């Protein structure tokens, strides 16, 4: 992006008005490891703070084999496809290809945060940070494999492009990632093609929209430090502190209250604790402002004992304090859920045509539309809203209790019983709203 609000594509340049949106509030993701997390479970959670009117869809893609030399069309560019991609379940802004958060069949979860650094984000359309979330899930069997996928694609293609479906705002960002599996997590923070990562295997970790790595880096781009020196950001002497070197001079974003909301929990952290944290508006973890909203949320439970399945919960609707987390388990025959998928506009989609975003189609899916009624009731009628929210939480509780039985059962999981799990939960929710 250049100063007049112009993005360059590989073949052309398109212009959007240079009006800026209000500064984005912090968006959080968390991971907790045993023994801070209960019962040998790794617990992962993410809130997606995005423009208020943006629809997020929840979509399953099965594992697939691909022809040699085939391409995959990401949000703005096409790249080489790999021979095989893993099954994934993702939550994503409905206009783009990638994902804000998601999981794959091997128990890898990834979430992305947009960050500002001293290095301005790229002026060309390249891979979005959200594209790299999906690519990491599709191609990585472990958290470390997914990290390697992301950094190699960064090196080859770079990152850049508008993060919002809006011709009137040109926002391009660098990216941070929380990449988690049953054994470990990696915090990956990027500046263009340069990056550093820290391995986490205990305690609680939170990332938001600012750099968090300091002097503990377990992997880094081979030219990271020489690049910092070439820019005059580091003298080459003394300890190398990643955040101090690469953070913008005026970095006023405060993620402290949100970070503390989970870290200061005195009890062991459970899936319910994580959901409660994501619903917490007082700490700023759950966003509901004039321009921005927590448009979708996700929580995953990854048992370190591999005889138990990973369980992933998605809202598919805005504001987790007024939404139901619905469970999903990877099995061979997953029943697709069209009611959480937005309409497809194909090549006529204004996000795919240049100049981009000249129109904004209605991307609401069936669950989103049904949930709008519930949000309106909760906001307008105190007594009826309280009863409605209580019933919604009861529905969620039933799902949580059923999943708890799976995680404590001595019997092996019957795939036939959970293939339509997410489908049934969405269907029940929509019927309830009607």
The CATH code of the domain that includes 43 is 3.60.60.10
Q: What is the pLDDT of residue 23?
A: 60
Q: Is residue 256 part of a domain?
A: yes
Q: Is residue 190 part of a domain?
A: yes
Percent of the chain at pLDDT above 90? 84
Q: Give catalytic residue positions.
A: 29
Burial of 222 (0-12, 13-18, 19+ CB in 10 A): exposed
**Does residue 75 register a pLDDT over 80?**
yes
Q: Check if the beta carbon of residue 298 is closer than 8 Å to that of residue 47.
A: no
Q: How many structural domains compose the chain?
A: 1
Q: Is residue 299 part of a domain?
A: yes
Mean pLDDT lowest among 6-15, 288-297, 300-309, 402-411: 6-15
Mean pLDDT lowest among 160-174, 197-211, 355-369: 160-174
Q: Check if the beta carbon of residue 133 is closer than 8 Å to that of residue 147.
A: no
Q: DSSP string of 55-69?
A: -EEEEEE--EE--TT
Q: Using alpha carbons, select from 94, 16, 104 the residue that is nearest to residue 48.
A: 94
Burial of 39 (0-12, 13-18, 19+ CB in 10 A): middle
Average confidence (pLDDT) over 291-317: 97
Burial of 433 (0-12, 13-18, 19+ CB in 10 A): middle
Query: What value does the mean pLDDT of the chain take?
Result: 92
Q: What is the pLDDT of residue 369?
A: 97
Q: Is residue 130 part of a domain?
A: yes
Q: Is residue 173 part of a domain?
A: yes
Greater confidence, 403 or 21?
A: 403
> How many angstroms from the chain centroid is the CA of residue 132?
11
Q: Is residue 382 part of a domain?
A: no
Q: Which domain holds residue 137?
A: 28-348
Q: Is residue 414 part of a domain?
A: no
pTM: 0.95
Average confidence (pLDDT) over 268-274: 96
Q: Is residue 419 part of a domain?
A: no
pLDDT tens sequence across 83-124: 999 999 999 999 999 999 999 999 999 999 999 899 988 868
């Amino acid at each position: 992006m250049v100063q007049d609000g112009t993005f360059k594509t590989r073949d052309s340049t398109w212009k959007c008005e240079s009006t800026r949106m209000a500064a984005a509030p912090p968006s959080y993701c968390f991971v907790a490891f045993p023994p801070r997390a209960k019962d040998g479970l790794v617990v992962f959670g993410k809130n997606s703070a995005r423009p208020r009117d943006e629809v997020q869809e929840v979509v399953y893609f099965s594992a697939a084999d691909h022809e040699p030399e085939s391409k995959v069309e990401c949000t703005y560019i096409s790249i080489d496809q790999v021979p095989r991609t893993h099954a994934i379940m993702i939550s994503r802004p409905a206009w783009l290809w990638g994902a804000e958060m998601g999981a794959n069949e091997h128990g890898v979860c990834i979430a992305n945060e947009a960050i500002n650094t001293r290095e301005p984000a790229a002026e060309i359309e390249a891979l979005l940070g959200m594209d790299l979330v999906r690519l990491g899930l599709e191609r990585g069997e472990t958290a470390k494999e997914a990290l390697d996928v992301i950094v190699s694609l960064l090196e080859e293609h770079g990152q850049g492009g508008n993060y919002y479906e809006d011709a009137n705002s040109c926002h391009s960002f660098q990216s941070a990632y929380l990449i988690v599996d049953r054994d470990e997590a990696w915090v990956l923070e990027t500046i263009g093609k340069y990056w550093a990562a820290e391995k986490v295997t205990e305690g609680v970790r939170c990332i938001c929209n600012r750099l968090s790595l300091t002097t503990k880096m377990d992997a880094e781009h081979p030219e990271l430090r020489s690049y910092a020196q070439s820019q005059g950001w580091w003298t080459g002497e003394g300890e190398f502190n990643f955040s101090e070197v690469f953070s913008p001079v005026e970095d006023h974003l405060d993620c402290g209250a949100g970070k503390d909301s989970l870290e200061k929990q005195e009890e062991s952290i459970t899936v319910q604790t994580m959901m409660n944290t994501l619903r917490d508006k007082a700490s700023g973890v759950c966003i509901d402002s004039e321009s921005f909203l927590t448009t979708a949320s996700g929580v995953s439970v990854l048992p370190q004992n591999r005889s138990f399945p990973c369980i992933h919960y998605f809202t598919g609707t805005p504001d987790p304090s007024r939404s139901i987390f619905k469970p999903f388990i990877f099995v061979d025959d997953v029943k697709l859920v069209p009611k959480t998928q937005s309409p497809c506009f194909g090549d006529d989609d204004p996000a795919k045509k240049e100049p981009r975003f000249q129109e904004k189609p209605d991307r609401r899916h069936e669950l989103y539309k049904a949930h709008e009624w519930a949000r309106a009731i909760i906001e307008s009628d105190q007594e009826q809203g309280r009863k409605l929210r209580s019933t919604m939480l009861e529905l969620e509780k039933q799902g949580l209790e059923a999943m708890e039985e799976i995680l404590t059962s001595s019997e092996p999981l019957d795939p036939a019983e959970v293939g339509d799990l997410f489908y049934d939960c969405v269907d029940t929710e929509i019927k309830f709203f009607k």
